Amino acid sequence: MTFSEKVSKTGIIPVVVLNKVEDAVPLADALLKGGIDFMEITFRTECAADCISEISRKVPEMNVGAGTVLNVSQARLAVERGAGFIVSPGLDEETVRWAIENDIPVIPGAVTPTEIMKAVGLGLKVVKFFPADVYGGIKAIKALSAPFGQVRFLPTGGVSEANLKEFMENKSVAAVGGSWVCKKDDIAAHDWDKITKLSADAVKIIKEIRS
Ligand code: 3PG
């Protein structure tokens, strides 16, 4: 299975902000228990690289990637520490080229036709649509899929259980991204059961739509 087939199969990439390395493995386990085998650890906290390395070593079933990657040096660090894919809020050409050259799946943000054309020109087929709610949500994705029928989107930002269905029903949506299954407060409270429950609820909706 290719990376994008795997992502599509799972249908969701939780966006994770971790402040403590010791929360990384329990969180990965909680997501897996709920049926989610992808997670994006954002480079917004100092411990992001350490969290990636913990998960890649100790939870091999989890496809762990790095998010909020802004440049090549962060991408390189993330991959050295075990990240299997790179997600960026926008499109940095140098980072995309580096990832492609190193055979690392990369999903940059692209929301305008010009940005999407740039991503396609670099050889990509999946882009992050971020912040999805601000840039027109599913309505915008539908409009963009007319000229960009081959492109698939990862809407992220403002996606939740409330609108998950409308995104997943669209064939141009490869998967959704979001933090609602692993909120900062739930991680801080070590409420792993809640995270598992929210993950399982999301997976149920995704499976119903996909079947
Ligand atoms: C982010 O980068 O913070 C993601 O887009 C998550 O957005 P969300 O918190 O609205 O899910």
Q: pLDDT per residue over 41-96, tens digit each?
A: 999 999 999 999 999 999 999 999 999 999 999 999 999 999 999 999 999 999 99
Q: What is the pLDDT of residue 211?
A: 85
Q: Which residue's C-alpha comes closest to atom 1 of ligand 1?
A: 157
Query: Rounded to whole angstroms, how far apart are CA atoms 136 and 103?
Result: 32
Please indicate whether residue 156, judged by its CB atom, sits closer than 6 Å to ligand 1.
yes
Whether 182 contacts 202, CB under 8 Å: no
Whether 206 contacts 12, CB under 8 Å: yes
Catalytic residue among 9, 33, 94, 128: 128
**Dihedral, 162, 190, 62, 75 alpha carbons, nearest 10:** 90
Query: Rounded to whole angstroms, how far apart are CA atoms 115 and 197?
Result: 36
Whether 63 contacts 6, CB under 8 Å: yes
Q: pLDDT per residue over 134-170, tens digit each?
A: 999 999 999 999 999 999 999 999 999 999 999 999 9
Domains defined along the chain, listed by start: 3-199 (3.20.20.70)
Six-digit token string for 81: 């520490």
Q: pLDDT per residue over 183-209, tens digit each?
A: 999 999 999 999 999 999 999 999 999
pLDDT category at 117 given cuts 50, 70, 90 is very high
Query: Rounded to whole angstroms, how far apart are CA atoms 184 and 187?
Result: 5
Q: Give the number of other CB atoms < 10 A from CB of residue 31.
A: 28
CA–centroid distance for 163 within its chain: 17
Report percent pLDDT > 90 for the chain: 99
Ligand 1 atom with the shortest distance to the CA of 133: 10
Query: Rounded to whole angstroms, how far apart are CA atoms 197 and 194?
Result: 5
Identify residue 173 by its one-letter amino acid code: V
Identify residue 38 by its one-letter amino acid code: F
Catalytic residue among 9, 22, 40, 101: 40
Please indicate whether residue 88, judged by its CB atom, sits closer than 6 Å to ligand 1.
no
Whether 52 contacts 66, CB under 8 Å: yes
Peptide bond before residue 131 is cis, with ω within 30 degrees of 0: yes
128 as an active site residue: the answer is yes
What is the three-class DSSP state of 41? Answer: strand
Listed residue (28, 54, 30) closest to 39, CA to CA: 28
Please indicate whether residue 158, judged by its CB atom, sits closer than 6 Å to ligand 1.
yes
